[in-house]
Amino acid sequence: MLAYRTGSALLGEPMSPAEEAAIERSAEDVPIAPQSWGERVAALGKPLILGLAVFAVAGALLAWLAVNLVWLLAQRLRRPGAPPG
């Protein structure tokens, strides 16, 4: 639901209350089978796909930053007097 809202906002397509209710109902009613899940994503269209892409990129960026931060901290703890890099 959050991915759909994000994609809808980025596309400039506001969600109507009826649309929101329909999406919530479909999330509860559809079984999680591989084929039906893919069909459901395709049926929701551009807003969902854009929102999922935004969250994928943001998640990857945050993971990359976290790994680099941990690596830098580990390097400083190993050699406190050495210059960074």
CB distance 31 to 74 below 8 Å: no
Tokens of 27: 């999330």
- Alpha-carbon span 50 to 66, nearest angstrom: 24
Q: What is the pTM of this model?
A: 0.65
- Alpha-carbon span 27 to 38, nearest angstrom: 13
pLDDT in tens, 59-74: 999 999 999 999 999 9
- Alpha-carbon span 50 to 57, nearest angstrom: 11
Tokens of 51: 């929102």
Q: Where are the domains of the chain?
A: 2-78
- Alpha-carbon span 31 to 22, nearest angstrom: 16
pLDDT over 80 (residue 83):
no
